Amino acid sequence: MRVLSELISEQWTYRELLVRMTARDLLLRYKQTIMGFGWAVFMPLVNTAIFSVIFTRVATIDVGVAYPLYAFCGLAAWNFFASAMRFSVVSLTGNPSLVTKVYFPREIFPFSAVLVSLVDFAVTLLVVAAAMLWYRVELGWSLLWLPIVVGGEVVFTAAAALLIAMANLFYRDVKYLFEIVIAFWMFATSVVYPIGRIGGRLGALLALNPMTHLIDAFRDVLIHGRAPSPAFAVTVLGSVAMLAAAWAAFHAAEFEFAENL
């Protein structure tokens, strides 16, 4: 606990650097693009259209609400996680001069990637709200859970970002394997169809996927009007423990970063 409190205190001391680095990464991501933040919305919309054709015309499934809204909510939450991972994996190796020559908490790099993706996610939430109005989804008390649900996903994403950034620094194969893993992970998560309908041993295995519980909780509080399931609480507690362990491991390995760049 003492080590963790010291890490948080150091991060707070360098909070202005984190803000500046996040602003820099946001500017670089959309520099010389016409759509800008529109890209954060465009890709989920395109994927929603594709999966809507598949699951409403080819292989029809009943998800209890309008399928486009179901899919877009899942894709919005998933894209936040996947985008943060995609930028975190090269966050250390892509900044060799800063990592090796200037001292500051190196976790700022993956944390910045998470915050940039969180800004994109906030933009996407505006479209989710518009879709809810279009499909006449009534807002209820469950909406009060939304900050907790988003916070839970942020904690899990931050933990995974620390681990993947550190892993890619020591083993450069990670960035190549990442795209394969993230593609399989998406279809092993309740992003565009309910994983809960898969039975047997495979269903039991997929039920251990923390992203499924986070995305299901996101849909529960927004479009189903209910509180998250107990599995969400377990996932959040596990995510907090995972973040503490990942942060401590990251800090312990920090002194070897310069040697591997």
State the residue range of the domain holding 46.
2-260
Closest residue by Cα to residue 80 from 52, 42, 31, 113: 113
| Confidence category of residue 206, pLDDT binned at 50, 70, 90 | confident
61: left (phi over 0), alpha (psi -120 to 50) or beta: beta
Round to the nearest angstrom and report the end-to-end CA distance of the chain.
31
Residue 37: per-residue pLDDT: 73
Calculate what percentage of the chain has a pLDDT beyond 70.
Answer: 97
Instruction: Provide, rounded to the nearest whole percent, the portion of the chain with pLDDT above 90.
Output: 56
- Classify 63 as helix, strand or coil: coil
How many domains does the chain contain in total? 1
Q: Say which amino acid occupies 235.
A: T
pLDDT in the model for residue 196? 81
Over residues 17-28, the pLDDT tens digits come to 888 989 988 888
- Of residues 38 and 230, more confidence is placed in 230
Average pLDDT over residues 168-187: 92
Q: Identify the CA nearest to 224 among candidates 132, 124, 148, 123.
A: 132
Q: What are the Cα distances from residue 42, in Å, to 39, 49, 127, 129?
A: 5, 11, 10, 15
Q: Quick: pLDDT tens for 135-145.
A: 999 888 999 99
Round the average pLDDT of the chain to a whole number and report it: 89
Contact, 62 vs 34, CB < 8 A? no
pLDDT band of residue 98 (cuts 50, 70, 90) is confident
Lookup: tokens for 187? 């279809």
More confident residue, 218 or 41: 218
Q: Above 70 in pLDDT, residue 16?
A: yes
Nearest to 17 by CA among 6, 25, 27: 25
Tell me how long the chain is.
Answer: 261
